[in-house]
Amino acid sequence: MSGGRQYIYGQQPVAEAQRGRRHVHQVWRAPETGNHRLEEMAGSPDHQGIVAEVDPFPYGDPNALLDPAEGLIVVLDQIQDPHNLGAVCRSAEVAGATAIVIPDRRAASVTASVCKASAGAVEHLDIVRVRNVADWIDLAKKAGFWVWGADGTADSAPWSIDLTGPTVLVLGTEGKGLRPRVAASCDGLVAIPQRGMIESLNVSVAAAVLLFEAVRQRS
């Protein structure tokens, strides 16, 4: 493909791209286009009979987010699973979050599989890449955001903290959690109470819990 264009696939991702900000150059549908060709373009058998060629994903400007009026931002620290990134994006968009911040290295980027996992939510969400997550958090704090990091060992529960003001929610990987410097950069840490035997929630589920607690407090 020319100009860095990419293929996306699936009924809802293509529909959201068509009403989003990216230019859709061409759409291929079954049965006019054979299943083998659709799978070849999509790189997945899960294409639902439709593939589109779109412009590269337009990552946002990290500095443009540093306005407290933006309200609710999610930072993902080295989330490498594209399905997790997509699922977090879907919850964030539905919850009315302004943006997702991700590292530009050692982390999933916005690919066709992320678009599919997000059900097309990435087309309506500002996603920015930063060189250093901890440094960006420091800038957000100076700009007036309160930053909460998700940590299973924390004493505070989501409903015991104030999420009504300009807020950044920071989540790490399920296995290692937040990196030490990222955790130390947060204003506070918050844990989702658990009663079962499994050690942690999927990061996308944890993000949804925190996001919709913020929605509840702001309602």
Q: Where do the domains of the chain lie, and which CATH numbers do they carry?
A: 6-54 (no CATH), 62-218 (3.40.1280.10)
For residue 159, count other CB atoms closer than 10 A to its CB: 11
List the pLDDT tens digit at each of the 219 positions of the chain. 556 899 999 999 999 999 999 999 999 999 999 999 999 999 999 999 999 999 999 999 999 998 888 689 999 999 999 999 999 999 999 999 999 999 999 899 999 999 999 999 999 999 999 999 999 999 999 999 999 999 988 999 999 999 999 999 999 987 788 999 999 999 999 999 988 888 778 999 999 999 999 999 999
**CA 188 – CA 5 distance, rounded (Å):** 40
Tokens of 2: 């020319």
Distances (CA, A) of 55 to 18, 35, 89, 190, 207: 11, 23, 19, 38, 28
